[in-house]
């Protein structure tokens, strides 16, 4: 046969346009995208008729936590690389970039990288890479940045809060400078740590412990201040950053203003800041814990609207999940693992911060119908590929260059709207924050490097653990440092 797989009658959506086209695949790669009907004389081992449905590049989710020790409260990740990447594939995401967490007690990043490779090796359903999470930017750790680049890692994450992870501003400057020198993009979790601790103490004095007070303890002002501070530190070093999981439209304004001044400031938001509010933390009993994440879901629809606008106007480079999975009920004991004798009704500060969402990210965004298709593709796939050095292998349909990673959606009117249930999902978590939400779309097929991995109407998950591969990444192709000269103290 001429091709291994052809997909006909699709509406092929990229970040640039949507065209009626047929796609031909050979081995791992897309080999041609031709006007509809262009493949009618070709032979193929397998043909899929997309039936007029949208076809988008496989999702690239650049913010996924798997198999981490307790870093964000009482509880370890519920998903392994196997179960997390399985969940990704069933929701249309073909590439995940997962954190490789250095501990403060460790002086090396290369050992962290190696240990994380060992966890992911031969068990992933999706393709994958890692962001090094730098908790101890020691001289030794910084000296390893060139070796990280050689190992295919071009991004780091640092935190301005969390006792186990927080860097002070001097340490942040150290990381930014070394990252700039090595062509590395630094992701920053921006919340003011002292403001959070101070608010937590205020709440404790008043014996306010319920899950909903997590949101009170992490006010928007903590995010606004730290976001602006991170922008200042980035501008000072002339080093590109990505501000992760922005929830506050006022923080987004600082980012937009910096971008309008031409600075290499990139930003991310997540579905929880489009679909949840702080009222979701205020439920009977301990239920609200299911929506505890940091930053927390904000006040109201007005905030959602601000975040949607930030996606539409380009403030947000990417829409990632921040999939950070924890069990609600402990498997063994059936009890909430973050509840102990000291606070028998629970205390918000021990609830591990994070929501599962790697599988629901694309269906939620697609079902909302709010973004233009080209924008949907840009923020869920293409821009992540560009920022993290995977483009055009990922995030695009460039014949001869792009991997054959794609999602075929349902044709208009062919999927009855349905209520999401956690039991439909493929993660190892006992809840979804979106239980009962009406969805209008879901991936009908997910294809990874030419192989059908998810066939919703015929077999469901048909791919295998180990089908996913490690991706060696290059440098960002989005805006980098403004100057090509080395940073020099004599410039000040
Ligand atoms: N926020 C979360 O909700 N989970 C993981 C870490 C974080 O910053
Ligand atoms: Zn974070
Ligand atoms: Zn809303
Ligand atoms: Zn995170």
Ligand 3 centre from 76 Cα, in Å?
30
Close Cβ partners of 413 (under 8 Å, ≥ 6 residues apart): none
Ligand 4 centre from 194 Cα, in Å?
20
- pTM value? 0.98
318, 321, 323: which is closest to 375 by C-alpha? 318
Q: Which pLDDT score is estimated for 335?
A: 72
The answer to whether residues 242 and 179 touch, using CB atoms and an 8 Å cutoff, is: no
Ligand 3 centre from 301 Cα, in Å?
5
Establish whether residue 266 lines the binding site of ligand 1, counting it when its CB lies within 6 angstroms of any ligand atom. no
Protein residues placing their CB within 5 Å of the ion ligand 2: 189
Q: Which pLDDT score is estimated for 70?
A: 85
What count of other Cβ atoms lies within 10 Å of the Cβ of residue 491? 9
Q: Which pLDDT score is estimated for 332?
A: 64
Rg (CA), the chain: 22
Q: Which atom of ligand 1 is nearest to the CA of 159?
A: 8
Ligand nearest to the CA of 131: 4
Ligand nearest to the CA of 244: 2
321, 327, 387, 396: which is closest to 359 by C-alpha? 321
Ligand nearest to the CA of 71: 1
Establish whether residue 189 lines the binding site of ligand 1, counting it when its CB lies within 6 angstroms of any ligand atom. yes
Q: Kindly state the tokens that stand for 15.
A: 């970040």
Q: Which atom of ligand 1 is nearest to the CA of 352?
A: 4
* Gap between the Cα atoms of 198 and 205, Å rounded: 11
Establish whether residue 65 lines the binding site of ligand 1, counting it when its CB lies within 6 angstroms of any ligand atom. yes
Close Cβ partners of 189 (under 8 Å, ≥ 6 residues apart): 157, 158, 159, 160, 161, 162, 244, 245, 294
Q: Which pLDDT score is estimated for 82?
A: 98
Label residue 117 exposed, middle or buried (CB < 10 Å: 0-12, 13-18, 19+): middle
378, 398, 402: which is closest to 390 by C-alpha? 402
Establish whether residue 294 lines the binding site of ligand 1, counting it when its CB lies within 6 angstroms of any ligand atom. yes
Mutate to test the pocket of ligand 1, among 65, 166, 191 (most ligand atoms within 8 A of CB): 65
Q: Which pLDDT score is estimated for 334?
A: 67
Q: Which pLDDT score is estimated for 265?
A: 98
β strands within 221-319, DSSP E = 241-243, 265-269, 318-319
Q: Which pLDDT score is estimated for 73?
A: 79
Protein residues placing their CB within 5 Å of the ion ligand 3: 301, 304
Q: Residue-wise pLDDT tens for the chain (492 aa)? A: 999 999 999 999 999 999 999 999 999 999 999 999 999 999 999 999 999 999 999 999 999 999 998 888 788 899 999 999 999 999 999 999 999 999 999 999 999 999 999 999 999 999 999 999 999 999 999 999 999 999 999 999 999 999 999 999 999 999 999 999 999 999 999 999 999 999 999 999 999 999 999 999 999 999 999 999 999 999 999 999 999 999 999 999 999 999 999 999 999 999 999 999 999 999 998 999 999 999 999 999 999 999 999 999 999 999 999 999 999 987 666 677 788 778 888 899 999 999 999 999 999 999 999 999 999 999 999 999 999 999 999 999 999 999 999 999 999 999 999 999 999 999 999 999 999 999 999 999 999 999 999 999 999 999 999 999 999 999 999 999 999 999 999 988
β strands within 273-405, DSSP E = 318-319
Mutate to test the pocket of ligand 1, among 247, 294, 356 (most ligand atoms within 8 A of CB): 294
Q: Which pLDDT score is estimated for 274?
A: 98
DSSP per residue, 396-409: S--TTTSB--EEE-
Q: Which pLDDT score is estimated for 69?
A: 87
Establish whether residue 160 lines the binding site of ligand 1, counting it when its CB lies within 6 angstroms of any ligand atom. no
Mutate to test the pocket of ligand 1, among 72, 242, 295 (most ligand atoms within 8 A of CB): 72
**Which residue, chain included where needed, has tokens 């956690």?**
422
What count of other Cβ atoms lies within 10 Å of the Cβ of residue 279? 14
Ligand 1 centre from 62 Cα, in Å?
14
Ligand 1 centre from 294 Cα, in Å?
5
Establish whether residue 324 lines the binding site of ligand 1, counting it when its CB lies within 6 angstroms of any ligand atom. yes
Ligand 4 centre from 186 Cα, in Å?
14
Q: Helix, strand, coil shares of the chain as percentages rounded to 5?
A: 30, 20, 50
Q: Which pLDDT score is estimated for 192?
A: 98
């Amino acid at each position: 046969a001429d091709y291994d797989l052809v997909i006909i009658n699709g509406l092929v959506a990229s970040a640039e346009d949507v065209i009626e086209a047929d796609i031909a695949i050979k081995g791992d790669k897309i080999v041609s995208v031709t006007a509809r009907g262009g493949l009618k004389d070709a032979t193929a081992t397998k043909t899929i008729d997309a039936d007029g449905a949208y076809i988008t590049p496989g999702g690239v989710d650049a913010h996924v936590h798997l198999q981490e020790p307790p870093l964000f409260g009482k509880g370890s990740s519920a998903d392994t690389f196997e179960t997390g990447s399985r969940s990704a594939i069933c929701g249309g995401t073909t590439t995940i970039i997962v954190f490789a967490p250095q501990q403060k007690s460790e002086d090396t990043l290369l050992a962290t990288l190696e240990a994380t490779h060992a966890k992911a090796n031969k068990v992933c359903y999706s393709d994958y890479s890692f962001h090094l999470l730098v908790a101890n930017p020691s001289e030794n750790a910084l000296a390893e940045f060139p070796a990280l680049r050689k190992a295919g890692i071009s991004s780091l994450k640092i935190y301005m809060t969390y006792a186990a992870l927080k860097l002070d501003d001097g340490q942040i400057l150290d990381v930014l400078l070394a990252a700039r020198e090595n062509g590395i993009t630094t992701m920053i979790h921006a919340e003011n740590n002292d403001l959070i601790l101070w608010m937590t103490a205020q709440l404790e004095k008043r014996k306010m412990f319920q899950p909903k007070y997590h949101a009170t303890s992490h006010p928007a002002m903590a995010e606004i201040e730290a976001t602006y501070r991170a922008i200042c530190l980035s501008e000072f070093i002339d080093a590109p950053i990505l501000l992760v999981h922005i929830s506050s439209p006022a923080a987004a304004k600082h980012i937009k203003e910096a971008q309008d001044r031409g600075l290499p400031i990139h930003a991310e938001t997540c579905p929880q800041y489009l679909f949840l509010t702080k009222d979701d933390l205020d439920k009977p009993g301990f239920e609200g814990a299911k929506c505890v994440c940091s930053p927390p879901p904000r006040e109201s629809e007005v905030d959602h609207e601000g975040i949607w606008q930030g996606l539409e106007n380009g403030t947000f480079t990417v829409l990632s999940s921040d999939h950070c999975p924890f069990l609600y009920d402990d498997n063994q004991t059936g009890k909430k693992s973050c509840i102990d004798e000291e606070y028998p009704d629970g205390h918000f500060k021990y609830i591990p911060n994070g929501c599962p969402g790697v599988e629901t990210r694309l269906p939620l965004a697609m079902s909302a119908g709010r973004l233009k298709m080209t924008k949907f593709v840009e923020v869920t796939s293409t821009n992540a590929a560009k920022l993290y050095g995977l483009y055009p292998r990922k995030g695009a349909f460039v014949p001869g260059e792009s991997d054959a990673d794609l999602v075929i959606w349902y044709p208009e009117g062919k999927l009855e709207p349905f209520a999401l249930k956690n039991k439909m999902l493929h993660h190892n978590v006992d809840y979804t924050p979106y239980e009962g939400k009406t969805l209008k779309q879901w991936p009908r097929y997910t294809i990874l490097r030419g192989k059908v991995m998810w066939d919703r109407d015929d077999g469901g998950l048909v791919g295998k653990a180990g089908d996913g591969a490690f991706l060696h990444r290059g440098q960002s192709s989005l805006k980098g440092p403004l100057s090509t000269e080395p940073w020099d103290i004599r410039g000040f």
